[in-house]
Amino acid sequence: MSVTLAEHVRAVAGAEATELDVVLTRIAGAGRLIARELARAALVGQLGMTGDTNVQGEPVKKLDLWSNQVIVDALAATGLVCTMVSEEMAEPLHLADRCATARYVVCFDPVDGSSNLDVNGVVGTIFGIRRRTAGAEHVAVDAIQPGGAQIAAGYIMYGPATVLVLTLGKDVDAFTLGAPDGEFLRSHAGLRMPPHGHTYSANDANATHWVPGVREFLDHLRSGGTGRTYTARYAGSLVGDFHRTLIEGGIFLYPAETTSAGKLRLQYEAAPVAFLAERAGGRATTGREAVTAIRPTSYHQRVALIVGSPDEVTLAEAFIAARR
C-alpha cells in the first residue's frame, strides 16, 4: 500500500506533525494546480511575458506571476504562515493577522527554470520552511535566517512526472503525483546521493567569467584526472539539474564569477537545495563556505552554488582554494 505525502509527514514530523502536514499538503496542492496549468499553458494563453520585470531586473513570465499567487493563496489558507519570501515579490509578504497563530516562514521560487517554459522543458517549484521568531521586528529577522535554520525544504519537479522531493530535516524522500487530481505517493524513500557520480552540470557559456579554479576543476574531470569518465548534462533548471544529481550523483555548479557572487538566489534556490543535499549525504558549498551556514543580509541575495556528491564537491573546493 503506497504511503501518501500526508501519511508520511504525520509519521516523521514529530511534535509539529499536525502543523507541517497542513503546510505541506497546501504546498503539494499548489504544485498540483501548477502542474495542470503548465500542461495546458499553450492552449489558454499562459505562455510568454507579462511585460514587467521583477526585483532582480528579470522579465516576468505569466506563469511566474500566476504560480506565485497560487502559492501565496495556498500558504495563506493554512493560517500557519505569516511571512513569505518569493522571487516574484520585492519585499517579504507579511500576513499580520496571522501572527498570533502562525509558526512558519516560507521562502519559495514559484517557477524555477522559467526560460524552459516556452519550450516545454523541465521547471520546478522550490521551498524552504523556517520557524518564525517572536520579536516585534520578526519579519525582517525571519526572512534572512540561514539555510541551516530550515526545518523542512523541498521542491516539486514538473517533468514527465510531477515529483515532490522533501526533507523534514532527517531523510530525503520523493513523492510522485499518481494522477492529475490524485495524491502524491511515496516513490523513493531515504534517497542517498552517491559518493561520486559520472555527470557534471554547469552553463559552460559562462566559463570565461568563472572564478579561478572552476575551469581547471572541470578540465580535470574531462581529462580523466579522477580515474573516472564524465558526461555533461545541463537543463537550465536548478530543480531538473539537482534532481538528476541527487539520484545519480555527480556535481552541479553555478559558480561565483570574477565580478559577481553567482546567479542563484540564496533564500529560495540555493539554501533549500543545499539542505536537501546535506540530508542525502551530499555537500553544497559556494567554493569557500557551506551554503547552509551563510547568514543572508538581504532577501534576494545571490550566491555561488556547487552541490552534489561529496567526492566531486570536495575536489572542486580544493581546485578553487588552490587558486584563490
CA distance 278 to 261: 22
Considering only residues 93 through 152, tell me which ones interact with Mn ion, judged by CB under 5 A.
109, 111-112
Least distance between Mn ion and beta carbon 64 (Å): 6
Choices 29-37, 43-51, 230-238, 279-287 (CB under 6 A): range interacting with ligand AHG: 230-238
> If we measure between CA atoms, which residue out of 154, 120, 216, 141 comes closest to residue 20?
154
CB of 244 to Mn ion, least distance (A): 16
Instruction: Please give the residues from 70 up to 109 whose contact with ligand AHG meets the rule CB under 6 A.
Output: 87, 109
Interaction between residue 18 and ligand AHG (CB under 6 A): no
Contact 86, 107 (CB under 8 A): yes
Return the residues of window 254-283 that contact Mn ion according to CB under 5 A: 269
Q: Considering beta carbons, is residue 103 or 300 the nearer one to ligand AHG?
A: 300
Write phi, then psi, for 221 (nearest 5 degrees).
Answer: -65, -45
Q: For 97, phi and psi rounded to 5 degrees?
A: -70, -10
237 binds ligand AHG (CB under 6 A): yes
C-alpha cell at 199: 555527470
* CA-based torsion, 192, 277, 246, 258: positive or negative: negative
> Which region, judged by CB under 6 A, interacts with ligand AHG, from 91-99, 131-139, 223-231, 235-243?
235-243
Residues 6 or more apart whose Cβ sits within 8 Å of residue 160 = none
| Of 111 and 246, CB closest to Mn ion | 111
Binds 237: which of ligand AHG, Mn ion, none (CB < 5-8 Å by kind): ligand AHG
Asked if 146 and 294 touch (Cβ cutoff 8 Å), the reply is yes
Residue 99 near residue 57, CB atoms below 8 Å: no
Check: CB of residue 126 under 8 Å from CB of residue 114.
no
Q: Calculate the alpha carbon distances from 323 to 34, 165, 254, 313 in Å.
A: 44, 36, 18, 16
Residue 236 contact, options Mn ion, ligand AHG, none, Cβ 5-8 Å cut-off depending on partner type: ligand AHG
First to last CA, the chain: 53
Residue with cell 540555493: 270
Build a one-symbol-per-residue string for 102-131: x at contacts with ligand AHG by CB under 6 A, - elsewhere.
Answer: -------x--xxxx----------------
238 binds ligand AHG (CB under 6 A): yes
Q: How many CB atoms lie within 10 A of CB 310?
A: 17
Candidates 16, 19, 87, 317; binder of Mn ion (CB under 5 A) is: 87
Task: Please give the residues from 166 up to 205 whose contact with ligand AHG meets the rule CB under 6 A.
Answer: 203
Residue number with CB closer to ligand AHG (115 or 120): 115
Q: 62 forms bridges with which residues in the sheet?
A: none
Q: Does 241 bind Mn ion (CB under 5 A)?
A: no
- Subset of residues 128 to 167 that bind ligand AHG, contact rule: CB under 6 A: none
Q: Which residue is nearest to Mn ion (CB)?
A: 112
Question: Which residues here bind Mn ion, judged by CB under 5 A?
Answer: 87, 109, 111-112, 269
Question: Which residues here bind ligand AHG, judged by CB under 6 A?
Answer: 87, 109, 112-115, 203, 236-238, 254, 263
